[in-house]
Amino acid sequence: MKTVYGPVPSWRLRRSLGIDVIAREKTCSFDCVYCQLGRTKNKTSKLQEFISVKRLEKDLSEVINKVKVDYITFSGMGEPTLASNLGQAIDVIRGLGNIPIAILTNSSLFSRKEVKKNLSKLDFIVAKLDVPNERLLREINRPVEGITFDRILDGIKTVRKEFNEKFALQIMFIDKNKGYASDLANLAREIRPDEVQIDTPLRYSPIKPLNSGEIRKIKSEFEGLNVITVYEAERPKVEVLDVDEYLRRRPEPWKK
C-alpha cells in the first residue's frame, strides 16, 4: 500500500493530496457507526510507528511535481495522530515544497503531549466533534477504552487555544445526533473555531445521510459561526494518480 493517494476533490480542502501514515488495515481509536472504511478491527490509542518517513519521502517525491494541489492532508486508513512519527513526517513534507499541510483527525488524542507537539507543526487542523456528551460518544464514535468525552473536549479546547493557524471543527450529522445541533453549536461557540464543517455521510457508508433540508435546519442553529456544509460546498475537478490507492481510502463499491 502506498503512503500517498489522490489528489482528492475535497469540499473542505479543495484539491487535497492524501498522506496515509497508517497505510495498512484500518487502525483507529474510534469505530464510528458511519465510517466508510468499515468496522475498526485494530482499535487502539497506542502511538506507534506504522510507516517509515523514508518510505513517505520516496512515495511523495515521486508524485509531488506531477500534481497541483491546495493542501497535503494527513488522513487515510485510520487516525493519523496515532503515528508516533507524525511530526517527522510533517518535516519531510515541508522539505519537499511549500504546500500547506492539513490533518483530518478524530480529536481523541489531543490531550497527549506528544500529539499536541506534532499538531503544532501543521497549517490546518480539521478536528472531529460529533457529539455533546458521553452517551452519544459511545453510541456513535464507539471509542477505545480510556477515551472519554470530557478528555476529548478538554483536548480540543487546549489545542485550539495553543494553535495559531487555521482550526476547523467538523461535525458528522446522522439520525442519532441530529437532535443535538443546538448543544453542539454551543460547544462550537466555546471552542471558537475558524470554521465549522457540517457533514453527513454522502459518500459510501453503512448509515443513511440526512437530506439537504435537515442539514439546512441544523446549519441555522450555528448562527454567528463561520459554517460550511457538505451540500453547499463546491468540489473541484481533479485527476487521480492511482485509482486503486484512492478507492482504498474512499471506497465507492459501485465503481469496482
The Cα-based distances of 15 to 66, 206, 239, 240 in angstroms read: 13, 26, 10, 10
The dihedral built from the CA positions of residue 175, 195, 231 and 238, taken in this order, carries a sign that is negative
87 binds ligand SF4 (CB under 6 A): no
- Using CB under 6 A, pick the residue from 13, 17, 19, 35 that binds ligand SF4: 35
118 binds ligand SF4 (CB under 6 A): no
- Using CB under 6 A, pick the residue from 30, 74, 149, 173 that binds ligand SF4: 30
31 binds ligand SF4 (CB under 6 A): yes
Question: What residues are paired with 172 via a beta bridge?
Answer: 199
Please report how close the Cβ of residue 79 comes to ligand SF4 at its closest, in angstroms: 5
- Near ligand SF4 by CB under 6 A, which window of 10-18, 24-32, 45-53, 94-102? 24-32
Please report how close the Cβ of residue 153 comes to ligand SF4 at its closest, in angstroms: 16
- The owner of cell 469496482 is 256
Please report how close the Cβ of residue 34 comes to ligand SF4 at its closest, in angstroms: 7
40 binds ligand SF4 (CB under 6 A): yes
* 144 DSSP 8-state letter: P
Question: What residues are paired with 74 via a beta bridge?
Answer: 19, 103
Select 78 or 209, whichever has its Cβ closest to ligand SF4. 78
* 245 close to 23: Cβ distance less than 8 angstroms: no
- Gap between the Cα atoms of 46 and 56, Å rounded: 21
* 51 close to 80: Cβ distance less than 8 angstroms: no
* 127 close to 159: Cβ distance less than 8 angstroms: yes
Select 85 or 107, whichever has its Cβ closest to ligand SF4. 107
Largest CA distance in the chain: 47
- Using CB under 6 A, pick the residue from 88, 106, 197, 229 that binds ligand SF4: 106
79 binds ligand SF4 (CB under 6 A): yes
- Using CB under 6 A, pick the residue from 28, 53, 101, 184 that binds ligand SF4: 28
- Using CB under 6 A, pick the residue from 13, 21, 37, 169 that binds ligand SF4: 37
- Gap between the Cα atoms of 40 and 231, Å rounded: 27
Select 10 or 40, whichever has its Cβ closest to ligand SF4. 40
Please report, as residue ranges, which positions from 195 to 234 form the binding site for ligand SF4 (by CB under 6 A): none
32 binds ligand SF4 (CB under 6 A): yes
Q: Locate all alpha helices (DSSP H) within the chain, ordered by sequence.
A: 53-63, 86-95, 113-119, 134-136, 149-162, 181-191, 212-220, 243-249
Please report how close the Cβ of residue 78 comes to ligand SF4 at its closest, in angstroms: 5
Contacts of 220 (CB under 8 A, 6+ apart): none
80 binds ligand SF4 (CB under 6 A): no
Contact residues for ligand SF4, defined by CB under 6 A = 28, 30-32, 35, 37, 40, 78-79, 106
